[in-house]
Every structure is written in C-alpha cells, then in structure tokens.
Chain A
Amino acid sequence: MRIRLSAAKVHNDFIRKVEEMSGQDLLKCYQCGECSAGCPAAFAMDLLPNQVIRLLQLGEYDTVLQSKTIWLCAACQQCYTRCPKGVDLSRIMEVLRDLLMLEQGDKIVIEKLPAETLAEFPQQAFISGFRKYTA
C-alpha cells in the first residue's frame, strides 16, 4: 500500500468539513491507541478507531468512508471518556456517517427490516437506529 501525500490531499475540503461539523481537531490526536484499546466493537471493525483518525489526518478519507467501522460505532463514549487529548471520536464517526448518507442514501431501509425485528425491537432501538443509519 502506498499513499501519495500532498498539500492538496492533507488540506482537502472534506476533512475540513468533518472537523467543522464534529467540532473536533483531528491533529490533536497523537495516535496513542487508547480508543482502539477500549472500544467494545473493535473486534468487528476493519479499521480501528485510531486508524480512522490517522487516515483522516493523512487526507485518506475514501478508505474511511468505505470501512465498516463508522457503522459499528455505538457512540458509547468509552473512547472519548478515556482519550488523553479529549478527542470525541463518536462525533467524528457521526459526521462521517451523515456525510456519506447525504450522498449515498440511507444505510438501513425500514421496509427491508424483518417483520420479527419490527415487532420485537423496543421503540428506543428504532429511533436511535434511524437517527444513526438514515440521513
């Protein structure tokens, strides 16, 4: 794998938008890895939380947007709580999901959910699920 870095790549508009909308400074992160160490969903992720930030720091956002990771963040705030630099990663994940869905449409379609799920899920799961997986 080879990433070609350039001024245009590391200063691109998409990254700036992510920073602006999430209120987070990506360069605050010094890649200690604490977020990935404690993330309860890390086992299922293709990119670790710290790698999401790292790739954004490099301007490599396509890789991030294609990853499963942003959909597996449950916003449990464990990483933010322990982050030595106070980076709220769940806000970054939320913005990435929102920006992607604005372009590509909803991640889940209510009509396609199994009837059993619809009948059983608590209201809270639907509402939060729609908030996270639809634009």
Chain B
Amino acid sequence: MRIPYYPGCTLNTKAKGFDRAARQSFAALGIELAELASWNCCGATFPLSRDNLLDLAGPVRNLVSAAAEGDKLAVACSTCFNVLKRSNLVMRNEEDKREKINFFIEADYAGQVEVVHLLEVLRDEVGWDTLAKAVKKDLSALAVAPYYGCMFLRPPREMGFDNHENPQILENFIRALGAQVADYPHRAECCGNYIAAFDLDTTQEMSYLILASARKASADLIVTSCPLCQFNLDRWQQDLAMKHGGFRPIPVLYDSQLLAIALGLDVTPFDLDRHYVDPRPVLAEKGLI
C-alpha cells in the first residue's frame, strides 16, 4: 500500500529521527509513505482571525499537491495534522473562503482529500492486532505515558476522531506494541507551545505539570507525535530539576521511534542520541536496544 505523506518542516530538519522511524516502520508494515512531490510549510498554527486567508494558502497548497497523488494524505506531526485537517475543512465547508483561496493559489480544490494521522493509519489500515503480531521486541517491562497535547484532539468539532477528554488511540498503540500504559491525568494538557519564544518560565511550568504527573504514574518514558511538544517536554528538564527538587528527568520519544524499536529495526538512524534526556539507558535497561 502506498499513501501520500507530508513530513513537514521540523521532520525535515530537527526531527529527522521522527521521520525516518515513521517511514521505515511503515515500510516494515507494508505501507509506503510516499512523500509529496511538492510541499511547503503548513504554517505551524491554524490562523484564528477570520479574515486571515493568506495563512490558509500555504496549507491548502499541500492539500492540492496531495489531491494529485491520492485521496488521502498521511501526516506524522500532530501540529501539521491539525493545521492541514482544519484547513481542509475550510475548503470543504466554507464556500466563499474556498473560492478566494483557490483564486490566490490558482487551484481548484474542494477539500476532497482525507487528512489522516499516522496513528489513524495504524488503527484503520494496519489494525492493532496485526500491529501486535508484527512486534519483534518484548516491551512488557516498559511503562509508557501517552502524551496527546492539544493539536491532536482539539477542537473536537473539527479534529473529532477520538474522545477529546478521554482519548484512547495512543493507549491502544502502546498496548499493541506490548508495553504498559502509564495512566496519568495530564496527557492532553498544553506543553506551553510557542509561548517558549515569549515567556520561557511559563512554558517550563506548563511542561512540568505533565512531566511530573507522568513520573508520578511510574512512566519510564513519554511518547508524543508533536515535535514542539517533544522539544518543550524534553529540553527544559534540567532547569526543572533545579527548580523542583526531587524531579527525575524522563525521556520523551516520538511515537514512531517507539514503533521502530518494537518492530526490531536498527535504531541507529532514529537519532535517539539527539534527545536532551537520553532515552538509551532506560531502553537498554529494558533490553530494547
């Protein structure tokens, strides 16, 4: 099976390990993630001001490219997923905006592509049972805290593929890989997002709530599918350990990295050494690398 695939800027630069792990894991599962022939940045935030059509032009260009290659567009990064999916709904449902944007970018697109997250592809195309059978490593000693963040689930009226207050897709993914789910309350709170560029203290405290809660639930590591969440959660742990006595750092992996590990792929290309909190000791301790 071949699915048109949108990597996005961060996966093309800072989060190459995320991208490589996704492509190689899906290939191992018989799915070719076929990078769009032409793509550009999604804009990294969905424009919230009503007259801001220009910021929709970028994401829609990607959807136009996708439409030329298939009826689906698979996305790994949950922020890109959010922006592309919401932009697609604008093209599908808001006629006046659709006309203007098509005019700007000289296209004729009406939202016909279905934007899906890689986890959805795993759930709907591969299936949790098939995935479980493909697992080569024993993850049963590993407790994984699922982290959804904001963009994956909200706003539910638009994203709506999982219960926004009690989501299950990451839990099912972790279970399919044979690992334990560390159940903690703050899996869908915001990590601080772009506030880091304006007020680092606030971002750090927002991330701390999540990290401390996952630690308390005895998680060995956290998985997420957003590079900015990954960065915020990963980057500030040393500062947080100084601020909050007793806090023990916890590694933050991308979902595809954990998938690749479970499938028994050679982890060298996946940049496990580029994380701020090194995940390798705990993975080695559990006999996974």
A and B touch in the complex (CB under 8 A): yes
Query: Interface residues, chain A, CB within 8 Å of chain B?
Result: 20-23, 40-41, 43-44, 68, 71-72, 74-78, 80-81, 88, 90-91, 93-95, 98, 107-108, 113, 117, 120-129, 131-133
* Nearest 3 CB-CB pairings of A with B: A129-B197, A76-B190, A77-B154
Q: Closest chain B residue to A123 by CB distance?
A: B9
| Interface pairs (21), CB distance under 8 Å | A20-B50, A41-B195, A68-B199, A71-B195, A71-B199, A72-B199, A72-B202, A75-B48, A75-B150, A77-B150, A88-B48, A88-B155, A91-B49, A120-B231, A122-B228, A123-B10, A128-B194, A128-B228, A129-B197, A131-B45, A133-B194
How far is it, in angstroms, between the C-alpha of A107 and the C-alpha of B202 when the chains are bound?
Answer: 16
Interchain CB contact under 8 A, B228 and A74: no
Using CB atoms and an 8 Å cutoff, list the residues of chain B in contact with chain A.
Answer: 8-10, 13-15, 41, 43-45, 47-51, 55, 77, 79, 150, 154-156, 164, 189-190, 192-199, 201-202, 205-206, 209, 227-228, 230-231, 235
Contacts of A123 in B (CB 8 A): 9-10, 13-14, 41, 44
Assess A124 versus B77: contact at CB under 8 Å? Given A22-B50, A78-B150, A81-B164: yes
Nearest-neighbour CB distance to chain B for A129, whole angstroms, equals 3
Q: Given A72-B198, A122-B227, output 16 extra A-B contacts at Cβ < 8 Å.
A: A21-B51, A40-B190, A76-B150, A76-B190, A77-B154, A88-B155, A108-B198, A117-B197, A120-B231, A121-B197, A123-B41, A124-B10, A127-B9, A131-B43, A131-B47, A133-B198
The answer on a CB contact under 8 Å between B49 and A72 is no
Interchain CB contact under 8 A, A121 and B48: no
Q: Are A120 and B235 in contact (CB under 8 A)?
A: yes
Contacts of A107 in B (CB 8 A): 198
